[in-house]
Structure 1
């Protein structure tokens, strides 16, 4: 008989502890073994029984959630789900938690909290199940702590998921690299982008992230990398030495102007439950770049990007999937591999060199 996933909930709100506990307890495979109103109480309870997953708030008395998270990750790395309302008013704190090793984030609203948590019960259960499978050994040992996009009318699901057409030029002087990632991706992208030279081909990236996080994430990477990294703006050109990250809450598509590539940042429906969506980006790259692109799918839960990578592969692009051993969550790469979308499967440590080699071959 498979053992249950043991969960601890650390939140100063009695309502959150009650509603989340009730939601998780409905799943026969999950057991809430402890709740705590702040990290100091949680530390005492950890001495008695250590959970498989911790659901953690950030703003709490006596010790903030980020300090507690860092303590947990330094002593006994454990999958942590951040459940916080700071996405709206203090995104830096939540981003710091992701950088410290949190597996995923659930953003709580400030109003209508009980209804939100009850409506999100299935999502919370799925987040716990996914977190329990996370490969924390794939996280780096040392964790370190734009302009508003122009708005276009929403485009339809059909338009966003329209399959690629033979419209891509067979070969152009401009080539590019497209990357899609989710859970564990903030650390993976830092590992990859910090190893690239300023001469690397232009890069377009979708990292599943809530609105307001991507600008800070891009600024952090920009301070660490030789290449320029920034949150994408509508109409930005894809050029060597620059990585464009899709803004949270907006889709990013590739377009072509002559032989040059630009990005369109636009509103639209959730695709595969995400906005931005990797599939939206990859399918547009397949359509407008085809064999002029390298597509890479990395760590993340779910299957967003798998079908898009297959379209890239079928359009003549070179395609790479991150291997299971180096993924925090193998979901997205696994689904792409199942579809036959990946030409190569490789560990995270080899992806930067593959990108550099692709750049050299394009010169």
Structure 2
């Protein structure tokens, strides 16, 4: 059995040792080298040709993002960022994901035994799956924007929603979600999103996406209304459900336990939407990500009459979640990433047209 070769890049000797010992526990992973800074890393990449790199976000001499940017231009390969939970660490990590990093893990508190155990499981899982990531999918996806973001202040619509879109994603999702949302016009249905991310990151991610999109994008708070022309992203470390009362759809954000080992969980969101399908058209989308979260929920939604879409393999960083949905028969359509925004626009237009015909 050929083990996957891993290069660990971190300026902390303690972290290099910890990461190496954790990763080497997996029978199919082998840490073939360590590097204390990007200059050493560059030489070791040329010599060792690793399958995946773990990269510290904040390093002296050259930060992880600058190194990643250079690496992706010269020698694209799967990279897992290792980040602190600080605001600065989160901001740099999100930038790294935009530049092509496959995934990230957050460093635990050294005194938190449960946190260290969880970190061990996370780093092994994410590094192993990163080996299978298609980094070419990031570059090969045609990027086009339907309309440029308005520079005027955004105001949320007060109109009653006549349709609803729900989106689930994991690994590779931050880039994919931004690609979809930035190609939507202001006249679009309300959107609820679960992206597997830890606390703090979802707030900063929503703010970043909001700045480059026509629509309003924000982290959901309990009892937030879903309105046309806006998207709510489930907070990291919380579960999000939707409920409908008197034509108003609201987000319910709770500390309920993880489902499918995730909080937020895509299945939790999608299951909550099933009753809403009795009152309005619903579109459900599963984007790139590892695992199977969302596949069962999307199958139930399809059986309830929802229009369901899975991202195709060619444009997925990790095809796990869409693949599971497709295999279950949950997807009405399988589309490349760059066609999903157009599918939403077309679906929304058909709903509006049908509503007008009913009035007349």
Shorter-chain TM band:
0.7 to 0.9
Q: 1:219 to 1:294 in 2, by over 3 A?
A: same
Whole-Å separation in 1 of the counterparts to 2:186 and 2:117: 48
Deviation at 1:140, TM superposition (A): 4.3
Equivalent position of 1:180 in the other structure: 168
1:335 aligns with 2:336: no
Whole-Å separation in 2 of the counterparts to 1:90 and 1:189: 21
Q: 1:118 to 1:219 in 2, by over 3 A?
A: closer
Size of the aligned set, in residue pairs, is 334
TM-score (norm 2): 0.87
1:358 aligns with 2:347: yes
Match of 2:244 among 239, 252, 256: 256
Equivalent position of 2:13 in the other structure: 14
Deviation at 1:122, TM superposition (A): 3.7
Whole-Å separation in 2 of the counterparts to 1:281 and 1:181: 12
1:234 aligns with 2:222: yes
Q: 1:119 to 1:352 in 2, by over 3 A?
A: closer
Whole-Å separation in 1 of the counterparts to 2:246 and 2:139: 41
Bigger mean CA offset, 120-129 vs 333-342: 120-129
Structure 2 gaps of 5+ residues are: 144-159, 353-360
Bigger mean CA offset, 76-85 vs 318-327: 76-85
Deviation at 1:115, TM superposition (A): 7.6
Equivalent position of 2:179 in the other structure: 191
Given that 1:218 and 1:231 are in contact with CA atoms closer than 8 Å, whether structure 2 keeps it comes out as yes
Bigger mean CA offset, 214-223 vs 83-92: 83-92
| CA deviation vs aligned residue, 1:189-230 (integer Å, no higher than 9, x gap) | 111111111111111111111111112211221111111111
Whole-Å separation in 2 of the counterparts to 1:236 and 1:27: 43
Deviation at 1:123, TM superposition (A): 3.1
Deviation at 1:77, TM superposition (A): 1.1
Deviation at 1:113, TM superposition (A): 7.2
Equivalent position of 1:93 in the other structure: 92
Structure 1 gaps of 5+ residues are: 144-171
Paired residue secondary structure (2:235): coil
Whole-Å separation in 1 of the counterparts to 2:329 and 2:102: 27
Given that 2:140 and 2:315 are in contact with CA atoms closer than 8 Å, whether structure 1 keeps it comes out as no
Equivalent position of 2:253 in the other structure: 265
Bigger mean CA offset, 272-281 vs 257-266: 257-266
Given that 1:207 and 1:246 are in contact with CA atoms closer than 8 Å, whether structure 2 keeps it comes out as yes
Whole-Å separation in 1 of the counterparts to 2:168 and 2:114: 32
Given that 1:271 and 1:277 are in contact with CA atoms closer than 8 Å, whether structure 2 keeps it comes out as yes
Q: Superposition RMSD on alpha carbons, in Å?
A: 2.1
Deviation at 1:88, TM superposition (A): 6.0
Whole-Å separation in 1 of the counterparts to 2:312 and 2:232: 24
Whole-Å separation in 1 of the counterparts to 2:187 and 2:88: 37
Deviation at 1:27, TM superposition (A): 2.7
Q: 1:276 to 1:122 in 2, by over 3 A?
A: closer
1:301 aligns with 2:300: no
Equivalent position of 1:71 in the other structure: 70
Whole-Å separation in 2 of the counterparts to 1:73 and 1:173: 42
Equivalent position of 1:124 in the other structure: 123
Q: 1:87 to 1:229 in 2, by over 3 A?
A: same
| CA deviation vs aligned residue, 1:222-264 (integer Å, no higher than 9, x gap) | 1111111111122222111111111112211110012221111
Q: 1:286 to 1:15 in 2, by over 3 A?
A: same
Match of 1:322 among 288, 308, 311: 311
Given that 1:86 and 1:93 are in contact with CA atoms closer than 8 Å, whether structure 2 keeps it comes out as no
Given that 2:161 and 2:228 are in contact with CA atoms closer than 8 Å, whether structure 1 keeps it comes out as no
